[in-house]
Amino acid sequence: MKINAITTAMPRNWGSSKILLMMKLITFMVFITLMQASAAGYGQRINLSEKNAPLKEVLQSIKKQSGYLFFYNADDLKARNLSINIRNATLEETLSACFKDLPFTYKIIQNTVVLTKREQTLIDRLSTYFSTIDVKGRIVDEMGRSLVGATISIVISEGDNDKKTGDYSLTLKGRNAAAISDKNGEFSLKNVDEKAVLLISFLGYKTQPVKVAKEIGVIKMIPDEGNLQEVTVTMNTGYQSIARERSAGAIAKPDMDILKNRSGSMSVIQRLDGLIPGLVINNSTSPTGNIINTKRSSSILIRGLSTISDFTNRDPLFVVNGVPVTDINTLNPNDVEDITVLKDATSASIWGSRAANGVIVITTKKGTNNGELKVNYDGFINFQGKPDLGYLNTMNSKNFIQSAKEIFDPVLNPWTTVIKPVVGNGTAPVSPHELILYNQSRGLITSAQADEQLNALAAQSNLSQINDLWYRNSALMNHTLSLSGGGSKYSFYGSGAYTKTQSNTPGAKNDDYSLNLRQDFKFNDRIKMYLITDLRNNLSSSKNTVSPDARFLPYAMFQNPDGSNADMSWLYRIDDLRTSYENKSLISLKYNPMDEINTGSTKSNLFRGRITTGITASLLSGLRYEGIFGISRAQSKTVSFLEQNNYNVRSELTSFTVAAATAGARPTYYLPESGGRNSLTNIVNQDWTLRNQLVYDHAWKEKIHQITFLLGQEVQKQTSNQIRTTVRGYNNQLLSYGLIDYATLNLKGLSNPVMPSGLGNSLLSNDLYSESESDARFNSYYANGGYTYAGKYTINAGARIDKSNLFGKDKSAQNKPVWSTGLAWQIGKENFMSDLSWLNALVIRSSYGITGNTPNPGTAASKDILSSVTNPFYPGGVGLNLSTPANRTLTWETTKNLNLGVDFSLLNYRLKGTIDFYKKKTENLIGFMDLNPFTGFPSITGNAGDMNNIGIDLNISSVNLVQGDFKWNTLLTLSFNKNKITRLNLSSPIVLGSDKINKPYLEGYSAFSVFAYEYAGLDNAGNPQIKLNDGTITKALNIAKPDDVKYMGSFQPKWSGGLSNTIGYKAFSLTINTVFNLGYVMRRDVNSLYAGRGLYSDSGFGGNVNSEFINRWKKPGDEASTNIPGYISSGSASLAARDVSYYTMADVNVLDAAYLKLRDLTLAYSLPKHLMTKLKVDGISFRAQLSNVMLWKANKYGIDPEFHNALGGSVAGGLRTAPFNQHSITLGAHISF
């Protein structure tokens, strides 16, 4: 196990010189800001006009105007008079003028000015050195309780030129010293200067200067309301906001300071990575910043997996400003004010049948009443580099050519078979190295000539060309400008943002524009209203590019030595076959990938508008009405156009061309000869929510009793419509297209075409027009209440009934309420806990309830779902097809959730934490169920199983050190989750071991289970062997039974979390965020080629294989040194003799997937106040961030689990994906006016 620095995706052309330059610039910026930080300056403006006034009176006048306190020896100021006349001066300028001709120096420490006499003579110094005393004292809080761990600092008033007093460092005659109050709050110091000043500091209290004395006595600290203290946390469920202490639910909130400074992505969800215990995020992302999700894996999980079907939603429910939303990626993180994650039934059950996966509630910013106009700008640019193609672990050209020569077999794979067109598409690709080998075997060239040509290919590498021609440095840039303010009756917050995403694909563009406006109206003391308008327009475009990588033939160059673009027609067919097609059709079939770039384009235009409005009306004392209406509409238009000279257009035209019957005649074209192919896709998604509720919130007898109750009804509708059309012969200037005989070409097909497209006749795809639509409707009734007694005992309860067209019509399916109840005990407030001065708060919570999860629209319904067949090809009018049979008893998945939790705060809130234990049982898992075959359907979507989850969530935050201007905070999130499927009706039985290996869900095992054969090495013929459960070693086919394969673990991490450290010093802060996932496994990426024709590529730009292929078994005896099976030239012979999955899916190729990654490191700096005053701004800060800087991984193969398809397929095992956005650099700034 190693710790490595990640440098993989740094842009190749950035080079060490540019990195060095960037580091120099950052260092220079830090140096300048350090110099600025050392200058004392404060923004108060002071006016003085005094003539021969006592110095003490002058200082009193400065105190009144600036708010700063003065600490001095009264005897030193006697008989000191001063004349001064200044206007509009800063504190620094005023003090300098006051003491210019007086024997005093001063130090500004927080809001206190400490005066001392100027440096003394040597004799005075010696006298002062020996005039020391021993000091004792006791420090207590405002209640008289001892403060443990208070810091006592010394400021030498005379005779000490040590400058380390600005940060409260302890200084004593040039030597470092320290004093910390003990368990009784007491402290003692020896040999302290009689004229010294003690500075007493403790987190959450104001720093107090104290004059030195032998017996100081009791020092009572004053709470600092602007510093750390107990904060009333508000919990927002999307329906109501209540104090955290009045809820028994399991909720979590991220550190918003960390979230807002994470500038590597505009995704709010990705910024939550490692900040919420129990929230696991798959950070394999696309270059646009969107999380990649696959059907076999989940990108976002809260407390494990609660569903196993592709027909249900695995992600949490997202709620923005009280309204459920489906596209969270459209939200600008700069507009987010608060995020609350609801994890248990008590907090989430109010959302009913959609809350089983947890709920993430987001509240956006709003203006402040009676607040002045505030203008904020935030911007950043994130340099992400290029993907690391070398990570893919493929063979270099030398090893590739060597392996190709070793496995070449012209007997079992004869030339006549290789050049025979593939049935259905007329392709016959022959790679350049293959052509050389076949030319040699056919006697067209000598062995020496073949070696010379092959050696030339072995000396070439196309990685540099691929990197330079097909990829570019990706970047992300955002600028957000916001304004907020308000009066007594009206407040507002508005923002405008521009985001530019530069992906790795050359020529691609992505520009995003957004406007957000929230307005709050107060009509009178009883009626309030708000209106939120959120608009977004995204414009993107791309060219007709391909994305080759290191899995392509390593020698195949895309440009010739002279710089011209290389012809790669061989990717489709040999020259003789291509020439034959061209002569018959008079259509060129040459293929040049570089020339194809500008022959097509895709343009998309997405516009989304979301409007949310709400009203609150006070009806009676404590009783109010709340209504909310939210509507969202997103419309996207995507146009893909391929020009006439595009290869795909030319190839399709050739497939629908009949050669001329006589020499000299023209061929017959059944598709337009001119014009391109134009595809248009229009998608409209619309949803609206209407909610009405009554809320009763009342407290009496000095809040001994507090009750909150709400009762409401909610309706919601979500619709989606998609229309796609494709026309040929399209002229994008005239906006015209050609006419086609679809009935003939799609139904009957074209016989005897020049180049076949389909089995037998060439068949044109039915893509003229298609339309699909989904509709989901909900009608819900809910109630929720909470009662708190004496501020210590709380009970919560809630219930909801959801009715939906997604469920069956039977009463058993529709009338299934969800409910929850919870208890909370503020045990820390009990009298018997009052003697524990180190304990600030302790809460015990418990909850139990039911949440649910619904099927996706169109996957199941209470009635048969019919799809229409509407096109001109079929006579007799519109046809209907039964696409989904009805299931009247289908109901939503039910999750029963038990949660036990403890919240605590210790040491004057220096240490705070939450521990939760939970157990979830999901019943009625949605999946396939077997049907009687006589129904015409083998299976139906139904409730097919049950699953359990147990886990622990831990969240701890600590203030490790606060001393003067130095602060160090830590946040730890840790979660454990383990699940097990307890019941599952399989749509197909498990008969063989291979059946078990290919099932991610099995009864009795965790979800995403990984099974493997027990590998027993190779036999003397290079064939893989396995060990059966009875100890037998065999290579026989289809012999392994389910009991013969091993359970290796799950692909879902058992342990996950994050560790954040924030260190602040004066105007600087450094935040280090680390994330980790532990306790899960992945399949290793192994070679997938073991038989057949050999190494070659087609239009998919593949052909290369795992670098370990060179170490495969080659001769008897090699089985002692390798586990990699030998190569058999005949694919059919290999299938008959062995099962290569005995190796690829063996236990030796299942790895520990644990990793720990330094996700981001952020250095921030805020300009000093005097500079901001001169610039007439409220604040300016800069930040520099490094992302994905360092990686520790448990495997020894260099695999980053975040860039690995860990489950793989039935043959290939795992699959690497090229990492990007690694070691990225972000520079940002924030300005407040």
Chain-centre distance for alpha carbon 901: 27
Confidence (pLDDT) at 174: 31
Question: Distance between CA atoms of 1179 and 40, rounded to whole angstroms?
Answer: 16
What is each CA distance from 686 to 330, 533, 714, in whole angstroms? 15, 16, 17
3-state secondary structure of 870: coil
Report the DSSP beta bridge partners of residue 604: 540, 638
CATH fold for domain 122-229: Immunoglobulin-like (2.60.40)
The mean per-residue pLDDT over the stretch 158-171 comes to 34
Give the burial string for 452-489 (b: 16+ CB within 10 Å, else e). ebbeebbeeebbebbbebbbbbbbbbbebbbbbbbeee
Nearest to 1014 by CA among 1051, 1044, 1042: 1044
- The strand order across the sheet containing 323-325 reads 251-252, 336-342, 359-364, 317-320, 323-325
Report the range of poorest mean pLDDT among 246-260, 828-842, 924-938, 956-970.
Answer: 924-938
In one-letter notation, the amino acid at residue 1230 is H
pLDDT in tens, 797-845: 999 988 877 766 666 556 668 899 999 999 998 989 888 888 989 999 9
495: pLDDT strictly greater than 80:
yes
Structure tokens at 157: 């008033």
Phi-psi region of 1037 (alpha: psi -120 to 50; beta: other; left: phi over 0): beta
526: pLDDT strictly greater than 80:
yes
Report the range of poorest mean pLDDT among 45-54, 321-330, 898-907, 1221-1230.
Answer: 45-54
Structure tokens at 669: 């074209």
Residues 151/229, Cβ–Cβ less than 8 Å: no
Confidence (pLDDT) at 666: 93
Nearest to 558 by CA among 575, 546, 543, 544: 546
Residues 819/848, Cβ–Cβ less than 8 Å: no
**Most confident option among 191-205, 232-246, 897-911:** 897-911
Structure tokens at 843: 């809460």
Can you spell out the DSSP letters for 401-429? HHHHHHH--TTTS-HHHHTSPPTTT--B-
Confidence (pLDDT) at 97: 82
Residues 1057/274, Cβ–Cβ less than 8 Å: yes
The mean per-residue pLDDT over the stretch 675-693 comes to 96
What 8-state DSSP symbol labels residue 297? Answer: S
CATH class (in words) of the domain with range 250-383:
mainly beta
- The strand order across the sheet containing 215-220 reads 186-193, 132-140, 215-220
Asked whether the CA dihedral 1044, 1047, 1048, 1051 is positive or negative, the reply is: positive
What 8-state DSSP symbol labels residue 333? Answer: G
User: How many Cβ atoms sit within 10 Å of the Cβ of residue 101?
Assistant: 9
Burial label, 932 (beta-carbon count in 10 A; 0-12, 13-18, 19+): exposed
484: pLDDT strictly greater than 90:
yes
- Sequence-ordered list of residues with C-beta below 8 angstroms from that of 769, at least 6 positions apart, any chain: 723, 724, 725, 871
3-state secondary structure of 244: helix
Give the burial string for 1076-1087 (b: 16+ CB within 10 Å, else e). bbbbbbbbbbbb
Confidence (pLDDT) at 1178: 87
As a 3-state breakdown, the chain gives helix, strand, coil percent values, each rounded to 5, of 20, 45, 40
3-state secondary structure of 469: helix
User: Is there a shared CATH topology between the 122-229 domain and the 250-383 domain?
Assistant: no
CA dihedral of 77, 82, 86, 91, whole degrees rounded to 10: -10
Question: Distance between CA atoms of 528 and 524, rounded to whole angstroms?
Answer: 7
**pLDDT-derived band at 874, boundaries 50, 70, 90:** low
User: How many Cβ atoms sit within 10 Å of the Cβ of residue 712?
Assistant: 22
Nearest to 1090 by CA among 1105, 1074, 1073, 1100: 1105
492: pLDDT strictly greater than 90:
yes
Nearest to 943 by CA among 1008, 1005, 853, 1004: 853
Report the DSSP beta bridge partners of residue 1052: none
425 compared with 787, residue with greater pLDDT: 787
Question: Distance between CA atoms of 911 and 913, rounded to whole angstroms?
Answer: 7
In one-letter notation, the amino acid at residue 84 is I
Secondary element (H or E) of residue 1230? strand 1224-1232
Question: Distance between CA atoms of 1197 and 1086, rounded to whole angstroms?
Answer: 11
Mean pLDDT (the chain, rounded): 85
Confidence (pLDDT) at 8: 38
**pLDDT-derived band at 33, boundaries 50, 70, 90:** very low
Asked whether the CA dihedral 33, 39, 42, 47 is positive or negative, the reply is: negative
The mean per-residue pLDDT over the stretch 298-324 comes to 84
Question: Distance between CA atoms of 1159 and 1074, rounded to whole angstroms?
Answer: 5
pLDDT in tens, 1060-1085: 999 999 899 999 999 999 999 999 99
Rounded percentage of the chain residues whose pLDDT exceeds 90: 54
701: pLDDT strictly greater than 80:
yes
What 8-state DSSP symbol labels residue 832? Answer: G
Question: Distance between CA atoms of 1225 and 384, rounded to whole angstroms?
Answer: 7
890: pLDDT strictly greater than 80:
no
The mean per-residue pLDDT over the stretch 96-121 comes to 75
294: pLDDT strictly greater than 80:
no
Confidence (pLDDT) at 1161: 95
- Sequence-ordered list of residues with C-beta below 8 angstroms from that of 620, at least 6 positions apart, any chain: none
Residues 1188/1075, Cβ–Cβ less than 8 Å: no
The mean per-residue pLDDT over the stretch 343-368 comes to 86
The mean per-residue pLDDT over the stretch 916-942 comes to 80
Structure tokens at 138: 């006791």
What values do phi and psi take at 937, rounded to 5? -125, 130
227: pLDDT strictly greater than 70:
no
Nearest to 40 by CA among 1183, 1180, 1173: 1173
Confidence (pLDDT) at 163: 34
Report the range of poorest mean pLDDT among 553-567, 641-655, 736-750, 1155-1169.
Answer: 736-750
**Most confident option among 279-293, 399-413, 767-781, 1209-1223:** 399-413
User: How many Cβ atoms sit within 10 Å of the Cβ of residue 882?
Assistant: 12
In one-letter notation, the amino acid at residue 66 is S
What is each CA distance from 881 to 773, 884, 892, 931, 934, in whole angstroms? 15, 9, 26, 19, 17
386 compared with 859, residue with greater pLDDT: 386
Question: Distance between CA atoms of 355 and 942, rounded to whole angstroms?
Answer: 20
Confidence (pLDDT) at 178: 46
What is each CA distance from 799 to 782, 848, 993, in whole angstroms? 6, 12, 46
The three-state DSSP-derived secondary structure of 1068-1095 is EEEEEEEEEEECCEEECECCCCCECCCC
671 compared with 756, residue with greater pLDDT: 671
Confidence (pLDDT) at 310: 73
Confidence (pLDDT) at 1089: 87
Confidence (pLDDT) at 759: 74
In one-letter notation, the amino acid at residue 879 is G
How many Å from the N-terminal Cα to the C-terminal Cα in the chain? Answer: 50
Rounded percentage of the chain residues whose pLDDT exceeds 70: 86
Structure tokens at 966: 């130095």
In one-letter notation, the amino acid at residue 835 is D
296: pLDDT strictly greater than 60:
no
User: How many Cβ atoms sit within 10 Å of the Cβ of residue 1?
Assistant: 9
3-state secondary structure of 799: strand
User: Domain limits of the chain?
Assistant: 122-229, 250-383
pTM reported for the whole predicted model: 0.79
**pLDDT-derived band at 337, boundaries 50, 70, 90:** very high
Confidence (pLDDT) at 589: 96
What 8-state DSSP symbol labels residue 352? Answer: G
Confidence (pLDDT) at 875: 58
Confidence (pLDDT) at 169: 33
Residue given tokens 């000093």 in the structure block = 1168
pLDDT in tens, 611-624: 999 999 999 999 99
